[in-house]
Amino acid sequence: MPVYSYDPPDRFIAGTVGQPGDRTFYLQATGGGRVTSVALEKGQVSQLAERLDELLDEVLRRTGGTASIPAVAPASLADDGPLEQPLMEDFRVGAIALAWDGESERVIIEAQELSDEPLEPLTEDLPEDGPGILRVTITAGVARAFAKRALALVVAGRPPCPLCGLPLDASGHICPRQNGHRVGRG
């Protein structure tokens, strides 16, 4: 499978297609006339956003605040636009890796195709017949903006059950904390 590399992308966002409760989540990178869209789970989007913020906070802490990392997402980098259409899924994500390149002061995000034989993350020696990889290299400011949008996207779905935290449908859900009884919304 191919490696889709964007260093840097013109645009890198998380987005969804569908209604809450039936949404498909995507990471999408664009640049150089190319568009790469990979599908992933809601939890993967949430974890990626949280880990990005944690990574940047840790780099700031370790450098004593000398790294050029904004503490919050710069408003000028906000991207609330929709996913590029037509949406063509290149692959479904299995693993995601993050790294900080201290030399260029950039974040590297690698989303690897779901595979029975995953590769070592962020390796340069990639086999011809290995899983697909989306690799983007972005500034800390773009990473903060990506994380902010991604977290907003995740919470814009179905509200959580106040008892178990699982998502509530319009009609409620069967709650494990209520021994299989239905819990309604509101």
Backbone angles phi, psi at 18, to 5 degrees: 110, 175
Helix 140-155 and helix 42-62, axial crossing angle in degrees, nearest 10 = 140
**131-163, pLDDT tens digit by residue?**
999 999 999 999 999 999 999 998 887 777 788
Of 63-77, 112-126, 171-185, the least confident:
171-185
Where do the structural domains in the chain lie, given as residue ranges?
3-155, 160-186
Q: How many residues does the chain have?
A: 186
Q: Which residue type sits at 72?
A: V
Q: Please determine, for residue 185, whether its predicted confidence score (pLDDT) is greater than 80.
A: no
Query: 182-183 and 173-174 as β-strands: parallel, antiparallel, unpaired?
Result: antiparallel
Distance of alpha carbon 179 from alpha carbon 110, whole angstroms: 40
Burial class (CB in 10 A: 0-12, 13-18, 19+), 74: middle
Q: Please determine, for residue 72, whether its predicted confidence score (pLDDT) is greater than 80.
A: yes
Q: Please determine, for residue 186, whether its predicted confidence score (pLDDT) is greater than 60.
A: no
Task: Give me the pLDDT at residue 17, please.
Answer: 94
Task: Give me the pLDDT at residue 146, please.
Answer: 97
Mean pLDDT of 62-84: 92
Task: Give me the pLDDT at residue 1, please.
Answer: 66
Q: Decide: 6 and 31 in contact? Cβ < 8 Å.
A: yes
Residue 108, both tokens:
């590297």
Residue 130, both tokens:
């290995």
Task: Give me the pLDDT at residue 136, please.
Answer: 98
**92-107, pLDDT tens digit by residue?**
999 999 999 999 999 9
**35-67, pLDDT tens digit by residue?**
999 999 999 999 999 999 999 999 999 999 888
Whole-angstrom CA distances from 109 to 7, 17, 54, 100, 117 are 11, 22, 14, 9, 20
Band of pLDDT at residue 6, cut at 50, 70 and 90: very high
The dotted CATH code for 3-155 is: 3.30.2450
Q: Which pTM does this prediction carry? A: 0.84
Distance of CA 104 to the CA centre of its chain: 22
